[in-house]
Amino acid sequence: MAKNIAESPLERSSLVSLDQRLAMAKRYSHEGAVAGAKAAVVAGLATAIPTIASARMLPWARANLNHTAQALIISTVAGAAYFIVADKTVLKLARQNSFNQDAM
């Protein structure tokens, strides 16, 4: 009896659906990671230039921001940009897929 249930058309279609969903989830997470990495590079550069410039020119920054502090500022901004953009990208793609499935 259990063998017949596992080979039923309904069971096969749900397995195909599960495989499709896993493939889409992998694609969405990859696209999110790529978008996050691009955002991290841009944010890192946008933060590095004024941080390093101010650490060399402003007396307060020169006295208080050593190399470790500068790196911490830049990496924090880059990391935050990565996670925010990656999360928003994955959610946007999942929402689009949800609307596309509802239309079918």
- pLDDT tens across 13-57, in order? 566 688 888 888 999 999 999 999 999 999 999 999 999 999 999
Q: Which of 47, 51, 35 is nearest to 87 (CA)?
A: 35
Q: Is 10 helix (H, G, I), strand (E, B) or coil?
A: helix
**What is the C-alpha to C-alpha distance for residues 58 and 39, in angstroms, rounded to an integer?**
28
Rounded to an integer, the average pLDDT of 85-93 is 96
Average pLDDT, the chain: 87
Evaluate whether 44 touches 1 at the Cβ level (below 8 Å).
no
Q: Give the pLDDT band (50/70/90) at residue 98.
A: confident
Q: Calculate the alpha carbon distances from 53 to 2, 12, 40 in Å.
A: 70, 61, 20
pTM, full prediction = 0.76
**What is the C-alpha to C-alpha distance for residues 35 and 82, in angstroms, rounded to an integer?**
8
**What is the C-alpha to C-alpha distance for residues 38 and 28, in angstroms, rounded to an integer?**
15
Q: Give the pLDDT band (50/70/90) at residue 85.
A: very high
pLDDT of 57: 96
Each domain of the chain, given as residue ranges in start order, spans 28-103
pLDDT of 101: 67
**What is the C-alpha to C-alpha distance for residues 37 and 98, in angstroms, rounded to an integer?**
25
SS3 track for 50-78 = HHHHHHHHCHHHHHHCCHHHHHHHHHHHH
Q: Give the pLDDT band (50/70/90) at residue 77.
A: very high
